[in-house]
């Protein structure tokens, strides 16, 4: 009859059984070219060369590359692999791969299996269709992928086939980055340098600092049959219509409930694939909204963590289909229901095994902690606009700054205790302080800060950037985003701030100040200049928006405007100085961000128009005819008008909604036509936002959702919210 009712009927037979009885340690990393495997498959020489390149980022020479490629092939073939692929993360937002076989034919006609160093180090994917923001046009027609040895190769099993995947960066021939990873690696290097310099004030043994990242991935899971009956989910990843179900998330019973069996089978299945690929998943649970879930790994070095997150998103999408389920990674798939984010837990770790954001036990280590803690706050304060731009997308706009969503204001939560510590420093560190005044240096940070904060009593859930005991948690990142975007910016702004900190402290030392005192002075100065970004209250409240405005904190609600922060003189200087992006690359990112935004809104607008005309209107008309026939019949049977008052009323209401709906759709299409004529990308994006999306999407939805309540349920072919959210 309709896909909706077919899907509901098929639900009962959709169960898929999985066997996962193995211990995790028995399979963990079995498809990864780990150090242990490398030792087994590489000569001593090749192993050393690979290792030193991982540690120092140095290039591997050709002869070594040949040896490593041979070792990789031997290992992969031992797992039945016949093809290899450079695996990369273009700016389209998904991962890309092009499979080549090891098989080739020699000049004399002999067929052989071969994988040489050149093929390992560099490839040329047919890249013309990946977004480049004009870069390849301006510079070179082509781009290439280059091996990133810092992320280990892995074997991806898809169906019956397996492929050796080589993690790579994607750059143009003139060196401009075209992907998410190349700038991330540069930002991590900038942070490493800056953080080592500063940490050497406290410990000369520190020679390396890495950023650590633990992401928490939220997602929805729904039945695939129901999904297929919703063209909006299929094409936009979110529902553009749908009346709120009688039962929503008010009861919050899903959060505490047990995981539904069908979803549980799916989780165990994707977890097993993840474990084989060395993704250290640790937690799984229900989230607040019905049908919403979360998983999180143990944190890792940021570059690897980013690869693992993108890999996992791919795996989840793929595995879900085996279970006749669909994963929704969209930031806001359902109106009126919580959205999904991807909290980025971030810190810095030294080669000496110290977490630089963990409060210490002695005054000296506390001073080190305070240094990195305050520098991070200052970085977020000084560059909150760039940080906001790093998480901007059409999808995330539905989650930030929209109704029923936290505002798009970047503020930092540090908890009452640390807020007090900072206030103390502010009032007690004075100009006159000299080396005889040692008491101030003995900043007594409560030994139990981590416990204090880890204990949920002092953990504000509404803050977009929160200190949670021994790490910061950037919560404004969208669930479908590539974390590299946010991580590139965060690491760059902290690097920049630390560099400035070093200069400021050195200046004071040169003028004769004792090191610790100089550090305290600069810390105090930074607290004063950035404290307006600190906020301990309810970040979702209206009063905060007002308060933030008074404080002069930016609150940019839409992507086209938020992206402006990427191309300000300040941003250009920031990224150029730290060698993360040059000006052209920034312009290109800006352009690509805007283009993506335009496309998303364009597609949504088309889907809204098409569904209104070809699904909603016919349903309304069918029901109206039924009512009309009914009334006619009653009249003919001699019934009085009072017998069909309800019917008449409903018909009138339906007519009203249908007329307004038709009118709005027509106007929206006209507005789109006007937008399409605009040449300038930024202006076009702004027009799509303020002339198409804002004036029409919600208004059209309002009419459709009203009709959903009026029209006979069996005439309504789009699965309803209650089915999408509660049937599994």
d(CA 72, CA 82) in angstroms, rounded, equals 12
Asked whether position 476 contacts ligand ADP by CB under 6 A, the answer is no
> 613 contacts which partner out of Mg ion, ligand ADP, none, CB within 5 to 8 A by kind?
none
Q: Which residues contact 73 (CB under 8 A, 6 or more apart)?
A: 84, 102, 113, 114, 115, 164
Q: Kindly state the number of chain residues that form the binding site for ligand ADP, as judged by CB under 6 A.
A: 15
> Which of residues 345 and 411 has its CB atom nearest to ligand ADP in the complex?
345
Minimum gap (Å) between residue 216 Cβ and Mg ion? 5
> Which of residues 458 and 587 has its CB atom nearest to ligand ADP in the complex?
458
Nearest to 647, CA basis, from 634, 661, 662, 637: 634
> 298 contacts which partner out of Mg ion, ligand ADP, none, CB within 5 to 8 A by kind?
ligand ADP
Q: Which residues contact 484 (CB under 8 A, 6 or more apart)?
A: 89, 180, 181, 183, 184, 306
> Which of residues 179 and 218 has its CB atom nearest to Mg ion in the complex?
218
Nearest to 283, CA basis, from 239, 204, 217: 217
Which residues, numbered 339-398, are part of the site for Mg ion (CB under 5 A)? 343
Minimum gap (Å) between residue 131 Cβ and ligand ADP? 30
> 528 contacts which partner out of ligand ADP, Mg ion, none, CB within 5 to 8 A by kind?
none
Asked whether position 475 contacts ligand ADP by CB under 6 A, the answer is no
Greatest pairwise CA separation for the chain in angstroms: 106
Asked whether position 281 contacts ligand ADP by CB under 6 A, the answer is no
Of 238, 471, 475, 600, the residue at the interface with ligand ADP (CB under 6 A) is 471
Asked whether position 212 contacts ligand ADP by CB under 6 A, the answer is yes
Minimum gap (Å) between residue 492 Cβ and ligand ADP? 18
> Which of residues 143 and 297 has its CB atom nearest to ligand ADP in the complex?
297
> Which of residues 187 and 296 has its CB atom nearest to Mg ion in the complex?
296
Minimum gap (Å) between residue 305 Cβ and ligand ADP? 8
> Which of residues 216 and 273 has its CB atom nearest to ligand ADP in the complex?
216
d(CA 591, CA 605) in angstroms, rounded, equals 21
> 707 contacts which partner out of Mg ion, ligand ADP, none, CB within 5 to 8 A by kind?
none
Segment contacting ligand ADP by CB under 6 A, of 33-41, 212-220, 415-423, 662-670: 212-220
Task: Give 32-92 as a 3 state SS string.
Answer: ECCHHHHHHHCCHHHHHHHHHHHHHCCCCCHHHHHHHHHHHHHHHHCCCCCEEEEEECECC
Question: Which residue has the closest beta carbon to Mg ion?
Answer: 343
Give the DSSP H or E segment for 9: helix 3-10
> 249 contacts which partner out of ligand ADP, Mg ion, none, CB within 5 to 8 A by kind?
none
Nearest to 29, CA basis, from 326, 298, 329: 298
Minimum gap (Å) between residue 574 Cβ and ligand ADP? 23
- For 309, which DSSP code? H
- For 356, which DSSP code? T
Give the DSSP H or E segment for 426: helix 415-428
Task: Give 658-695 as a 3 state SS string.
Answer: HHHHHHHHHHHHHHHHHHHCCCCHHHHHHHHHHHHHHH
Segment contacting ligand ADP by CB under 6 A, of 32-40, 213-221, 509-517, 568-576: 213-221
Letter string b/e over residues 597-631, b meaning 16 or more CB atoms within 10 A of that residue's CB? bbebbbebbebbbebbeebbbebbeebbeebeeeb
Count of beta carbons in the 10 Å neighbourhood of residue 2: 16
Count of beta carbons in the 10 Å neighbourhood of residue 49: 21
Minimum gap (Å) between residue 355 Cβ and Mg ion? 17
> 466 contacts which partner out of Mg ion, ligand ADP, none, CB within 5 to 8 A by kind?
none
> Which of residues 206 and 213 has its CB atom nearest to ligand ADP in the complex?
213
| Positive/negative CA dihedral, 245, 251, 255, 257 | negative
Of 47, 202, 299, 716, the residue at the interface with ligand ADP (CB under 6 A) is 299
> Which of residues 150 and 555 has its CB atom nearest to ligand ADP in the complex?
150
Segment contacting ligand ADP by CB under 6 A, of 163-171, 196-204, 310-318, 339-347: 339-347
Which residues, numbered 495-554, are part of the site for ligand ADP (CB under 6 A)? none
Distances, alpha carbon 264 to alpha carbons 16, 20, 228, 282, in Å: 11, 11, 22, 15
Minimum gap (Å) between residue 281 Cβ and Mg ion? 15
Give the DSSP H or E segment for 318: helix 302-322
Of 213, 236, 389, 418, the residue at the interface with ligand ADP (CB under 6 A) is 213
Of 42, 72, 184, 296, the residue at the interface with ligand ADP (CB under 6 A) is 296
> Which of residues 227 and 346 has its CB atom nearest to ligand ADP in the complex?
346
Which residues, numbered 342-361, are part of the site for ligand ADP (CB under 6 A)? 345-347, 355
d(CA 268, CA 77) in angstroms, rounded, equals 27
d(CA 724, CA 706) in angstroms, rounded, equals 18
Asked whether position 298 contacts ligand ADP by CB under 6 A, the answer is yes
Asked whether position 372 contacts ligand ADP by CB under 6 A, the answer is no
Which residues, numbered 270-329, are part of the site for Mg ion (CB under 5 A)? none
Question: Which residue has the closest beta carbon to ligand ADP?
Answer: 214
Of 133, 149, 214, 341, the residue at the interface with ligand ADP (CB under 6 A) is 214
Distances, alpha carbon 20 to alpha carbons 72, 277, 296, 583, in Å: 28, 16, 19, 50
CB-neighbour burial class of residue 231 (10 A; exposed 0-12, middle 13-18, buried 19+):
middle
Segment contacting Mg ion by CB under 5 A, of 127-135, 161-169, 337-345, 582-590: 337-345
Site string for Mg ion, 655-684 (x = CB under 5 A): ------------------------------
Nearest to 220, CA basis, from 299, 294, 111: 294
> Which of residues 183 and 214 has its CB atom nearest to ligand ADP in the complex?
214
> Which of residues 470 and 583 has its CB atom nearest to ligand ADP in the complex?
470
Task: Give 429-467 as a 3 state SS string.
Answer: CCCCCCCCCHHHHCCCCCCCHHHHHHCHHHCCCCCCEEE
> 214 contacts which partner out of ligand ADP, Mg ion, none, CB within 5 to 8 A by kind?
ligand ADP
Minimum gap (Å) between residue 509 Cβ and ligand ADP? 30
> Which of residues 255 and 702 has its CB atom nearest to Mg ion in the complex?
255
d(CA 125, CA 130) in angstroms, rounded, equals 10
d(CA 215, CA 474) in angstroms, rounded, equals 9
> 28 contacts which partner out of Mg ion, ligand ADP, none, CB within 5 to 8 A by kind?
none
Spatial contact of 316 and 340, defined as CB atoms under 8 Å apart: no
CA 449 to chain centre: 29
Residue ranges that bind ligand ADP, judged by CB under 6 A: 212-214, 216, 296-299, 345-347, 355, 468, 470-471
Residue ranges that bind Mg ion, judged by CB under 5 A: 343
């Amino acid at each position: 009859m309709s896909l909706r009712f077919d899907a509901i009927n098929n639900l009962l037979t959709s169960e898929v059984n999985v066997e996962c009885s193995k211990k995790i340690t028995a399979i963990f990393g079995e498809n990864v070219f780990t150090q242990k495997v490398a030792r087994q498959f590489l000569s001593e020489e090749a192993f050393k060369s690979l290792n030193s390149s991982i540690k120092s980022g140095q290039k591997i020479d050709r002869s070594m590359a040949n040896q490593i490629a041979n070792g990789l092939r031997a290992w992969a073939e031992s797992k039945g692999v016949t093809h290899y692929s450079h695996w990369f993360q273009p700016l389209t937002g998904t991962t890309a791969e092009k499979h080549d076989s090891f098989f080739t034919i020699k000049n004399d006609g002999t067929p052989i299996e071969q994988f040489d160093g050149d093929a390992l180090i560099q490839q040329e994917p047919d890249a013309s269709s990946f977004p480049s923001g004009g870069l390849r046009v301006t510079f070179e027609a082509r781009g290439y992928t280059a091996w990133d040895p810092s992320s280990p190769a892995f074997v991806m099993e898809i169906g019956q086939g397996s492929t050796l995947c080589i993690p790579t960066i994607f750059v143009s021939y003139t060196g401009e980055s075209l992907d998410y990873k190349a700038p991330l690696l540069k930002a991590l290097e900038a942070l490493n340098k800056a953080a080592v310099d500063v940490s050497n004030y406290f410990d000369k043994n520190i020679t390396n600092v890495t950023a650590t990242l633990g992401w928490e991935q939220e997602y929805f899971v729904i039945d695939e049959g129901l999904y297929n009956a919703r063209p909006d989910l299929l094409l936009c990843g979110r529902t553009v219509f749908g009346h709120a179900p009688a039962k929503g998330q008010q009861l919050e019973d899903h959060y505490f409930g047990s995981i539904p069996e069908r979803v549980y089978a799916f989780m165990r299945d994707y977890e097993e694939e993840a474990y084989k690929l060395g993704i250290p998943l640790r937690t799984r649970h229900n989230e607040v909204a019905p049908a919403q879930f979360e998983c999180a790994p143990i944190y890792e070095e940021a570059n690897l963590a980013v690869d693992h997150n993108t890999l996992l998103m791919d795996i989840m999408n793929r595995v879900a289909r085996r279970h006749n389920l669909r994963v929704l990674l969209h930031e806001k798939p359902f109106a009126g229901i919580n959205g999904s984010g991807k909290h980025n837990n971030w810190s810095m770790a030294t080669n000496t095994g110290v977490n630089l954001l963990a409060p210490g036990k002695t005054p000296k280590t506390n001073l080190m902690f305070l240094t990195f803690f305050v520098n991070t706050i200052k970085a977020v304060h000084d560059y909150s606009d760039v940080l906001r731009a790093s998480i901007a997308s059409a999808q995330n706009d539905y989650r930030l700054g929209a109704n029923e969503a936290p505002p798009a204001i970047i503020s930092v939560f540090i908890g009452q205790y640390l807020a007090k510590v900072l206030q103390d420093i502010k009032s007690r560190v004075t100009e006159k302080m000299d080396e005889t005044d040692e008491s101030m240096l003995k900043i007594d940070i409560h030994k139990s800060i981590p416990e204090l904060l880890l204990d949920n009593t002092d953990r504000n859930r509404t803050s977009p950037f929160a200190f949670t005991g021994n790490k910061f948690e950037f919560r404004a990142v969208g669930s479908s985003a590539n974390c590299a975007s946010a991580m590139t910016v965060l690491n760059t702004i902290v690097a920049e701030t630390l560099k400035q900190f070093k200069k400021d402290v050195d200046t004071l030392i040169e003028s004769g100040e004792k090191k610790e005192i100089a550090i305290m002075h600069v810390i105090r100065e930074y607290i004063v200049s950035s404290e307006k970004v600190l906020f301990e209250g309810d970040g979702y409240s209206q009063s905060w928006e007002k308060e933030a405005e008074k404080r002069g904190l930016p609150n940019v609600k839409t992507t086209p405007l938020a992206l402006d922060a990427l191309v300000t003189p300040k941003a250009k200087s920031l990224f150029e100085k730290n060698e993360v992006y040059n000006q052209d690359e920034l312009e290109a990112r800006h352009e690509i961000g805007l283009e993506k935004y335009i496309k998303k809104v364009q597609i949504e607008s088309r889907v809204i128009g098409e569904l209104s005309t070809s699904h909603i209107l016919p349903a309304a008309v069918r029901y109206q005819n039924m009512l009309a026939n009914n009334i006619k019949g009653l009249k003919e049977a001699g019934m009085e008008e009072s017998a069909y008052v309800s019917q008449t009323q409903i018909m009138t209401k339906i007519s009203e909604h249908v007329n307004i709906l038709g009118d709005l759709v027509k106007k929206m299409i006209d507005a789109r036509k006007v937008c399409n004529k605009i040449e300038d990308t930024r202006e076009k994006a702004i027009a799509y936002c303020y002339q198409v999306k804002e004036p029409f999407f919600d208004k059209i939805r309002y009419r459709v959702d009203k009709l959903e309540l009026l029209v006979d349920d069996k005439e309504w072919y789009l699965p309803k919210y209650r089915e999408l959210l509660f049937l599994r």
